[in-house]
């Protein structure tokens, strides 16, 4: 189907409210409303296509699925919708340009076992040898390791590599059931493992032999290979705006670079440039590809550290941003 497939296990209609200033317990007048077909996997697919990559989206769709189909068709996004009996959820982001956006995320509806099987079959039938499958975002309630394993095994059966970007217990499970790359922010990694410090959390993943990518917000991104070698790429300075979706753009930049060049330095530079471009955009899943070259030139030089030590500064700042 496409060299890059994204799987959004728990898609949502993303509603963005633009307000003058966020405030708790008060009536706030909304100046602008935008509704989009959302979910981390879709955001990744959009950025991949903006980068000129052959990308398509796979997602389960229930009630309100017509909205998704209409919007994705109108935008030219290739997609495969797997029908499910439950309703598609809604998330609401409140943005004022002053503080970090506030996100209200519904949990979604559990998938039946037959629906998980159908979703995995769609992945297996459409993955291509040498391609990438990105499984991104939250999972529906009652999802378990076996459901994630179905998706990863299906991607590998099609000859593709797999990156998983999620949170909670399934983040650790992704490393245990064969993901090639696991990506999350610092807080998500610590919370998923129960470790107090990032270096302890990273060691848990290291024992499972997975490539670990740690996003650090304004502090950049780190990539740790199974042998312990770690690459650090600082963030691009002087970037401000809407960080919603920046992590998804960073994922797209990472896998787009890995698909053509196995050098982690190049992949991390592409990742931070795409993340910065997303911050400069008003909406998640949008970047200006023409801005990437200039952003990459502004990036500080990354560096490599050899095992067994993990630089302490990786754990010096905790990024508490969670995206759904």
Q: Is position 253 within any domain?
A: yes
Contact between 83 and 65 (Cβ < 8 Å): yes
- Looking at the structure of the chain, the number of domains it has is 1
Could you tell me the residue range of the domain that residue 128 belongs to? Answer: 4-314
CA gap 65, 216 in Å, rounded: 34
Neighbours of 146 (CB within 10 A): 11
Q: Is position 114 within any domain?
A: yes
CA gap 2, 133 in Å, rounded: 10
Tens-binned pLDDT, residue by residue, of the chain (324 aa): 689 999 999 999 989 899 999 999 999 999 999 898 999 999 999 999 999 999 999 999 988 788 899 999 999 999 999 999 999 999 998 989 888 889 899 999 999 999 999 999 999 999 999 999 999 999 999 999 999 999 999 999 999 999 999 999 999 999 999 999 999 998 899 999 988 878 888 888 888 889 999 988 777 899 999 888 999 999 999 998 878 789 999 999 999 999 998 799 999 999 999 999 999 987 777 899 999 999 999 999 999 986 544 444 444 444 444 557
CA gap 246, 183 in Å, rounded: 13
* Catalytic residue list: 248
Q: Is position 184 within any domain?
A: yes
Task: Give pLDDT, residue 99.
Answer: 87
Task: Give pLDDT, residue 23.
Answer: 92
Query: Residue 93: which CATH number?
Result: 3.40.1190.20
């Amino acid at each position: 189907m496409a060299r890059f497939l994204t799987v959004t296990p728990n898609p949502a209609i993303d509603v963005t409210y633009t307000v003058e200033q966020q405030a708790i317990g008060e009536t706030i007048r909304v100046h602008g409303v935008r509704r989009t077909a959302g979910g981390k996997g879709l955001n990744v697919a959009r950025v991949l296509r903006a980068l000129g990559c052959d990308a398509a989206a796979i997602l389960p769709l229930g009630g309100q699925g017509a909205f998704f189909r209409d919007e994705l068709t109108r935008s030219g996004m290739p997609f495969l919708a797997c029908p499910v009996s439950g309703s598609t959820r809604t998330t609401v982001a409140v943005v004022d340009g002053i503080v970090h956006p506030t996100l209200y995320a519904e949990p979604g509806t559990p998938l039946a076992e037959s629906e998980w099987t159908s979703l995995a079959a769609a992945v297996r039938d459409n993955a291509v040898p040498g391609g990438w499958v990105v499984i991104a975002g939250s999972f529906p309630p009652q999802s378990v390791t076996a459901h994630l394993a179905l998706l990863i095994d299906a991607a590998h059966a099609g000859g593709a590599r797999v990156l998983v970007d999620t949170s909670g217990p399934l983040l650790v499970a992704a490393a245990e059931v064969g993901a090639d790359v696991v990506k999350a922010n610092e807080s998500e990694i610590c919370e998923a493992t129960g470790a107090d410090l990032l270096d302890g959390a990273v060691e848990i993943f290291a024992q499972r032999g997975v490539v670990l990518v740690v996003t650090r917000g304004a502090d950049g991104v780190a990539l740790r290979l199974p042998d312990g070698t770690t690459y650090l790429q600082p963030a691009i300075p002087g970037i401000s705006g809407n960080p919603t979706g920046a992590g998804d753009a960073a994922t797209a930049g990472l896998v787009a670079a890995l698909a053509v060049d196995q050098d982690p330095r190049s992949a991390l530079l592409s990742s931070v440039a795409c993340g910065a471009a997303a911050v400069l955009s008003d909406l998640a899943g949008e970047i200006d590809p023409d801005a990437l070259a200039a952003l990459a030139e502004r990036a500080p030089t990354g560096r490599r550290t050899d095992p067994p030590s993990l630089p302490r500064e990786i754990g010096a700042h905790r990024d508490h941003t969670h995206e759904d």
